[in-house]
Amino acid sequence: MTERTIPVAIFRLGRIVSTPTALQSLTREDILKGIQRHQAGDWGDLEAGDWEANDRALTQNGRIVSAYNVQSGTRFWIITEADRSVTTVLLPEDY
């Protein structure tokens, strides 16, 4: 039997919402995997400075932004607000 590692949540997500475009363009699996990575502190396909900003946001209660690319080539973002009340899944063009 293969041992599976479950990502550890390092912050609260609040209510999870998604834009209609993201729901049409991404699979449920893409979204769930992205949310798991985001909540575990894997910020995805971002520049080093953005990773550092997210790491600071964890301790300074700032906004956290992650970006992921799925196999279909679609890029999406996950944004958790500074007060941790809401996390939004969206495509860049939805911003």
**Rounded distance between C-alpha atoms, residue 73 and residue 63, angstroms:** 26
Does the pTM surpass 0.85? The reply is: yes
* Cβ count near 59 (within 10 Å): 7
Does residue 46 form part of some domain? yes
pLDDT tens digits along 35-66: 999 999 999 999 999 999 999 999 999 999 99
- pLDDT of 7 reads 72
What does residue 80 show for φ and ψ, rounded to 5 degrees?
-105, 125
How many CA atoms lie within 13 Å of 88's alpha carbon, on the beta-carbon side? 13
Does residue 9 form part of some domain? no
Q: Which helix (H) or strand (E) holds 86?
A: strand 86-90
**Domain interval for residue 73:** 15-94
Total domains present in the chain: 1
